Amino acid sequence: MLIPRLVATGGSLAVVVTVAMVGLLDLTVGPLRRTISEYALGDYRPVFDIAVVLLAVGSLAILAVLVHKGLTRWRSTGAIALTLWSAGLFLVVAFPKTNWAMGTNELSGSIHRFGSMVAFVSLPIAIIALARPWLKDRVWGRHARWTMASGLLSVVAFMPLLYAIALGVVSDVRWWRVFPLGYIERILLVAEVGAVLVVGLWAISASRVAPWRVGETSRTTSAPSTTSSTTMARN
């Protein structure tokens, strides 16, 4: 159980370091009205890249512990969506946004936006899907409810961006001018990174329990008919 605990703790710490690094850039470089991705267009690109990679790797480490402990499966909706979240983050690092002032490659910027959208959309789906099967579990129910709440908060944080995009489709207003995009992006990032941390705490707790006992909790909270049939089988 030591290795899963180290992996879960390391993944969660990687997410915390991401928040610290981006927060440091915001405090020392700014301004906040600019998107976070703009840090990758100048001298601070190594800091930005390391921060995003840490977030992606940390998320995958947390997922690996959840799978190892039987809280989800690799082919489940939650696991696939969380993997897409990390994949989107890797695309954000590999393909910087377009620097219009320098006339850089617009294809890179398009892939960057695609990666960002994949990440931002996938994360709430992952969090909600991971939490849903365990909401009524007597052992993991509390963690699942906190996880579900953080997933729903991420959905709420994503709504202003969806509104801006929809308004841009039906009007002449450019969607990135509807709201100060930098502020909206940071609100969304805080909500989604916070959700990953909540799942990370769940993974740390699960890492202290043997995998067969994690599975046992789901059986003890299953439907009464299943329980009765098991009792009959034992008799």
Q: Where are the domains of the chain?
A: 2-215
| CB hemisphere CA count around 176 (13 angstroms) | 6
217's tokens? 């909790």
Return the closest-CA partner of residue 15 out of 64, 51, 63: 51
pLDDT for residue 102 = 60
CB 141 within 8 A of CB 135: yes
208's tokens? 């202290």
Q: Is 102 helix (H, G, I), strand (E, B) or coil?
A: coil
For the chain, the helix, strand and coil percentages under 3-state DSSP, each to the nearest 5:
80, 0, 20
pLDDT for residue 219 = 42
Element holding 203 (H helix, E strand): helix 181-206
* Ranges of H-type helices in 69-104: 77-94
Dihedral sign computed on CA atoms, order 70, 75, 78, 83: positive
For 148-197, write each residue's pLDDT tens digit.
Answer: 999 999 999 989 888 888 887 888 877 767 777 788 888 999 999 999 99
Distance separating alpha carbons of residues 49 and 22, to the nearest angstrom: 10
For 85-135, write each residue's pLDDT tens digit.
Answer: 999 999 999 988 876 556 556 788 889 889 999 999 999 999 999 999 999
Specify the pTM.
Answer: 0.84
